[in-house]
Structures are given as structure tokens and as C-alpha cells.
Amino acid sequence: MSNTLELNSAHYQVKTLELKGSSITYRSFGDLVYVENPVYPEFQKMNLFVPEGYYQGEMINGFSAETAPIFFPNAVGAYAAGRADQPGFNFRLWARDQVNALFVALQKGFVVAAPASRGRSLQDRQGHFAGCAPAAIIDLKAAVRFLRHNRGRFPGDTERIISNGTSAGGALSALLGATGNCSDYEPYLEKLGAANERDDIFAASCFCPIMNLEHADMAYEWLLEGLDDFHSLRFHTENGKLIPEPYEGLLTSAQKDASRELRQMFISYLNGLDLKAGSKTPLRLGTDGLGSFREHLSDLLRESAQAALDRGGDLSDCPNLHIEEGKVVSFHLDGHVKAAGRMKPVPAFDVWENNSAENELFGTAESQFQHFTKYGLAHDTGGGSLAQPELTRMMNPMEYLDGKTSDTASHWRIRHGSLDCHTSWAIPLIFAEKLREYGKNVDFQFAWGKEHCGDYDMEQMFAWMKDVALQ
């Protein structure tokens, strides 16, 4: 028998949660399977939380039961499956002592819909890989459709769904925002028995999105070519848990050659995008990798340092900043890149051994890993094949911004740590400028001093969400 998509609004628990001296009371609708024919019910369900005040006719933070936006945080990391989250402490390794965004959202009068979604490494009973692309985005879209299908059965405005995610989750937030109602995803949604509803969203918040994967290797070498040692943590999954291990070394001479080659490929790619800063000044790169695009990146990083200074930060020990009387008067991008350091070898994502997280994302039911660039395939040492171009495209938000096939979200907030080299800083910058070109409202900033993380500026994030939602 198939699962019902009707929310039973009488089936809830009232909960009170006190964390770090603040308390919230909310109704919890748990374990809502959002498709009729789930293949992995544990990862195709969501939790829905509503501030109790809305059932008592209260206004919270300027919102009512009718106008409250729906905060939609995915729990994806490293392209693995994400569990349906709940208010409490942050589940991410780097932030376990922090109250999570779900808790803060409820305090601020948002309804919270926290979806699980399938991801790489999941296997079904027959041993087939059940979470490779495009599973995660299909699940998030199905969850959005479920919310629309049940509008009126719970407080909250289904025309004000605002997604949020970090890293691979940031990429999925971007993809959800970019691809509203796009027919490419329809056959997959139909097969799962997703509600027959729209799946566009109002706004997307993306922290350090690991996206535009087809161009991420090139972009990485444009930023980091010349830095020959890499240091990072690598994650593997054990029983659905992400386990970190140190990953460091020196590039081989073949990798150094590839780095130079990829860097040149990025220059062609970037110039072909015909980007303009704020839709005005052309952003270009010369064959030496220098030019207005790099200067724009440098300006944005300098602005992010200035913002940190203006907030009262002490940046006096940053050797790449020259500060006079509270103003950053110069910024040395090359030195800053060196200080941040290379985290990944060459190529960073579509690795020749065909065994990265992203290779696994593009695996198939039968083969766990695949390449997703022709360059990766051409250098393959791991016996990998190439993912279908349609699938690679379906995971790239950049492909859906021109308004021809999708209803892209109107409002965007993108943050990337100034020390976060999990992907090239060019990646979020290109995305932000493309969104602006297509008329979207974009708030993009580098977050000075931040490494790879998200949800670190929740006061500002929820103020931004409130601001756009009440427009």
C-alpha cells in the first residue's frame, strides 16, 4: 500500500526545549514520509515544527500563522544522505556545541520543515546504490511538494519556503533554488509518487556550496596553482556516519602539469561566461590568470576584512592586510591564498583514481563511482566511466538560471569563508554574479576568517530571511 501524502494535523506532540538559557515551545509533526512510494523511507521523510504561539493566535517576530515563512534546512554533508533534523545542537562535527538553526528559526517565528534526503553510499537490500545523483535533489523537491500539498493544514506560508544548507548541503540548497518546477526532474518525482504540486521555492541560503562540479577542478587550480602541498581531512562513511581522517601530501609532477592545464581551462571557461560585476563591469582573465575577475575577487575579500574590522574584530595579525585608522587600505590576495592553503590534490574533485565523494555522487545503481568530466575520464586510473551528461547537468544550479526551463528563486544569500579552500572562491562568486545577471536579489559575501562551516551568523541570516519574506 502506498504512503498517504495527507498531513494529519491532529497527530503531533507539544515540546518545550531549553538550550543555553532560551526556551521554545512548538508542535512537532515527526517522520512525515513525503512520497507515496519511498525507496528509502528513513531518508525520504521530514520533521515539521511549528511555534506553539501560532495556535494561540500570537504574532512572533512580525509573523502570523498565515505569514510565517517556512525554513527548510537540509542536513546534507559531503553528498551523503541527510537525516531529518530537529531543534537542538548542530549535528555537524565542527559545531556540536552550537544551538542549531532549527532552534533559532522557531524562536524567530519561522515554521521549520527539516527534510531527510538520500545520498551517496546508500545501498538497498539488493546491494544497489540507491542515493546517487539525482536522488538528493529529487527528495528535496518531493519534500517541497509535500508542504504545498498540505498548505492550510499547518501554519506557515508555502509561498515563502526558504532553504538552507552548508557545503554539499549548500550546493543542494542552490540547486533547489535554481531548478523550481523544471521538467528534467519530473520522471523521477513521478516514479516516487511525489505530490503533484509546484516545487519552486522563494529563497535560498547557501553556505560554501560545493557546486558547479564540472568546473570545480579548473577553478581550484586557477586559485591554487603553484601551491604544491595539500592538507585536509578526508571523510568516509561508516554506518551512515561521516568519519574524518587526515589527508595530506605533495603533488606529483603529473599533477603539477595537470594543475597548469586545468588553470588554463578555467581561464577559457570564465571568459566564456561573459560575467559582469553587479551586471556592469566585465569580469575577465588574461592568459596569465590575472585580470578584472581576480581583482573583483580580491575586492570582495578586502570588503569582508573591512566588515570584520567594522564589527570590532582584531585583524592586526593578518600579514596580508594593511590597515590604517580602521580601514583596510590594501589586501594581498596571493599571500592570503597561500595562508589559506591547498586542501585538495589535483584534480580536486573528479579524481583520477575515481574514488572521491563527487565520483560517488555520480555513480550508478551498479557502479559506485564515475567520472563527471572528460578531463577526469581521460586521466582515469581507477577503471571509471563517464556519468551521463544529463545527470551532471541536473546537479549543477548554474545550468538552470536563464529562466527558460525553471522558476528560479528570487532571493539568494551566499556565504563562503575567507579561509575555506574546500572549493575555489571563484565558484560562489561566479554563481552570485550569474544570479544577478538574471535579475535575482543576491546577498553574497565572503565571511572573514571562517573556514569550512555554515550557520555561523544566524542573527544576520534570519534578519535577511525576515526582510525578504516581508517584502
Measured from the Cβ of residue 315, the count of other Cβ atoms closer than 10 Å reads: 15
Distance CA 427, CA 209 (A): 8
Question: Least separation, in Å, of the C-beta of 350 and ligand DHB?
Answer: 11
Chain residues in the site for ligand DHB (CB under 6 A): 77-79, 167-168, 210, 357, 422
Segments in 313-448 forming alpha helices (H): 333-340, 357-361, 374-378, 389-394, 426-437
47, 84 contact by CB (below 8 A): yes
Q: Identify the CA nearest to 398 among candidates 178, 164, 219, 199.
A: 178
Cβ nearer to ligand DHB, comparing 86 with 356: 356
Q: Pick between residue 413 and residue 422 the one whose CB is nearest to ligand DHB.
A: 422
Q: Tell me how far apart the alpha carbons of residues 173 and 153 are, in angstroms, rounded to a whole number.
A: 25
Q: How far is the CB of 344 from ligand DHB (least distance, A)?
A: 7
Smallest separation (angstroms) from ligand DHB to the CB of 165:
9
Nearest-angstrom CA–CA distance, 252 and 239: 34
Residue 328: count of CB within 10 angstroms of its CB = 22
**Shortest CB 419 distance to ligand DHB, Å:** 14
- State the DSSP string of 316-328: TT-TTEEEETTEE
Sheet of strand 441-447: strand arrangement: 13-19, 22-33, 45-51, 111-115, 70-73, 161-166, 203-207, 411-417, 441-447
Q: Pick between residue 75 and residue 144 the one whose CB is nearest to ligand DHB.
A: 75
Q: In this complex, which beta carbon is closest to ligand DHB, that of residue 7 or of residue 78?
A: 78
Q: Which is nearer to ligand DHB, 158 or 423 (CB)?
A: 423
Judged by CB, which is closer to ligand DHB: 107, or 356?
356
Shorter beta-carbon distance to ligand DHB: residue 208 or 308:
208
Minimum gap (Å) between residue 209 Cβ and ligand DHB: 9
Phi then psi for residue 164, to 5 deg, are: -150, 145
Q: How far is the CB of 20 from ligand DHB (least distance, A)?
A: 25
Report, in Å, the least distance between residue 93 CB and ligand DHB: 9
Omega cis (within 30) before 389: no
